Amino acid sequence: MSDSNKLVLTAVIGILVGLVLGRLLWYTNVPVAENEEQAIEESAGTEDSISKEEVPVVSEKEVLPATETPVVKENKEVPVPVAATGVSSITVGTQPAGKQVKAEVTASATVWVVVRDNNAGVMGKILGAKHVDAGTTTAIIPLQRATEAKNIYFVVLQDYNGGELDYSLKTVLKDTAGKNIATVFATE
């Protein structure tokens, strides 16, 4: 094999190795469960999960009022963000199934409005998120995966964290009483 062929072969191998390593590094930075069972297993028993007893069971005919909020257990090792001075709230009515969710948000600071799966009463994977500035606004949250008809989903306010969305439940904002700023909604 000539020197020029060896050089070309070395360059091609180097490029391929670089592409494969780059792709691996790119996809390992996003912590997402592969399936619903894995998401439940990963959150079950952790202090950021919520138990089935803490979230009311909702049938297809019954929808929780927007004022009822699911409770996430406080993680003792990580400081729990509290909404900055003032009151933050979120209201979501029954929604048509689809690729977006409409929410009425009052925020005392810039926050993430996050739509999450409901895995038997446990907050699951993030379907979509949008940051909103302080004030009262109607937020349209685009979803990466469409909601399905006759299901219940969570919507929570999470700490803006300088623009970085934390995929865990550790940054769910609390009100002044220590309750999550969250709600559930049904799809039709």
β-partners of residue 180 are 174
CA proximity to 107, closest of 185, 159, 65: 159
Integer Cα distance of 182 and 179 in angstroms:
9
CB 175 within 8 A of CB 108: no
What pLDDT band is residue 135 in, cutting at 50, 70 and 90? very high
Please, which pLDDT band fits residue 145 given cuts at 50, 70 and 90? Answer: very high
> What pLDDT is attached to residue 155?
95
Higher per-residue pLDDT: 129 or 44: 129
CA dist 33 and 19 (Å) reads: 24
- In this prediction, residue 21 has a pLDDT band, given cuts at 50, 70 and 90, of low
At 46, list the tokens: 């952790």
Average pLDDT, stretch 82-100? Answer: 81
Residues 6 or more apart whose CB falls under 8 angstroms from that of 122 comprise: 40, 43, 44, 49, 50, 51, 52, 55
141-166 b/e with 16+ CB inside 10 Å = b? bebeeebeeeebbbbbbbbbeeeeee
Q: What local confidence, expressed as pLDDT, does residue 188 receive?
A: 93
Question: Which residues have C-beta within 8 Å of that of residue 135, sequence separation ≥ 6?
Answer: 106, 107
